[in-house]
Amino acid sequence: MFVLVLNAGSSSLKFNLFDMANETSIAEGIAERIGLAEANLACSIAGEKRKEALSLPSHREALQAILDRLHANVLHDTPIHAVGHRVVHGGPKYGDSVLVTNEVLQDIDHFAMYAPLHNPANALGIRTAMAAFPDVPHVAVFDTAFHHHIPDHARTYGIPYEMSQKYGIRRYGFHGTSHAFVAARTAILLCRPLRSLKVITCHIGNGTSICAVGQGKSMDTSMGMTPLQGVIMGTRCGTIDPSVVEMLMEYEHLDYEGITNLLNKKSGLLGISGVSSDFREIELAADGGNDRARLARDLLTYNVRQYIGAYATVLDGVDAITFTAGIGTHSTFVRAKVCSKLGFLGVKLDPEANEHGTGERIISTPDSRVVVTVVPTNEELMIARETVR
Shortest Å, Cβ 174 to ligand AMP:
12
Cβ neighbours of residue 161 under 8 Å, at least 6 residues apart?
A: none
Q: Which entry of 143, 241, 278, 316 is annotated as an active-site residue?
A: 143
Judge whether 278 counts as a catalytic residue. no
- Residues in contact with ligand AMP, counted by CB under 6 A, come to a total of 11
Query: Amino acid identity, residue 205?
Result: G
| 379 vs 386 by CB, closer to ligand AMP | 379
What are the φ/ψ torsions at residue 37 (nearest 5 degrees)? -70, 155
Query: Which of residues 278, 299, 302, 376 is near ligand AMP by CB under 6 A?
Result: 278
Secondary structure (DSSP) of 145-204? GGGTT--HHHH--SS-HHHHHHHT-S---S-HHHHHHHHHHHHHHHTS-GGG-EEEEEEE
DSSP 111: G
Query: Amino acid identity, residue 379?
Result: E
Instruction: Looking at residues 25 to 64 of the shown chain, list those that interact with ligand AMP (rule: CB under 6 A).
Output: none
Q: Does 271 bind ligand AMP (CB under 6 A)?
A: no
Query: Which of residues 18, 181, 279, 307 is near ligand AMP by CB under 6 A?
Result: 279
Q: How many residues does the chain have?
A: 389
Instruction: Looking at residues 112 to 151 of the shown chain, list those that interact with ligand AMP (rule: CB under 6 A).
Output: none
Shortest Å, Cβ 221 to ligand AMP:
16
| 273 vs 368 by CB, closer to ligand AMP | 273
In this structure, is the dihedral angle defined by the CA atoms of residues 112, 115, 116 and 118, taken in order, positive or negative?
negative
Q: What is the largest CA-CA distance in the chain?
A: 61
In this structure, is the dihedral angle defined by the CA atoms of residues 359, 361, 363 and 369, taken in order, positive or negative?
positive
Cβ neighbours of residue 323 under 8 Å, at least 6 residues apart?
A: 202, 204, 329, 334, 335, 338, 372, 373, 374, 375
**Which stretch in 56-64, 65-73, 154-162, 272-280 sits in contact with ligand AMP by CB under 6 A?**
272-280
CA distance 232 to 108: 27
Shortest Å, Cβ 75 to ligand AMP:
27
| Binding pattern for the stretch 304-333 against ligand AMP, x by CB under 6 A and - elsewhere | ---------------------xxx--xx--
Q: Does 280 bind ligand AMP (CB under 6 A)?
A: yes
Shortest Å, Cβ 360 to ligand AMP:
16
CA distance 83 to 309: 39
Could you report how far apart the first and last alpha carbons of the chain are, in Å? 12
| 201 vs 331 by CB, closer to ligand AMP | 331
CA distance 151 to 148: 9
Q: Does 354 bind ligand AMP (CB under 6 A)?
A: no
Cβ neighbours of residue 302 under 8 Å, at least 6 residues apart?
A: none
Instruction: Looking at residues 197 to 236 of the shown chain, list those that interact with ligand AMP (rule: CB under 6 A).
Output: 205-206, 234
| 122 vs 273 by CB, closer to ligand AMP | 273
| 266 vs 280 by CB, closer to ligand AMP | 280
Shortest Å, Cβ 220 to ligand AMP:
21
| 87 vs 300 by CB, closer to ligand AMP | 300
Catalytic residues: 143
Residues near ligand AMP (CB under 6 A): 205-206, 234, 278-280, 325-327, 330-331
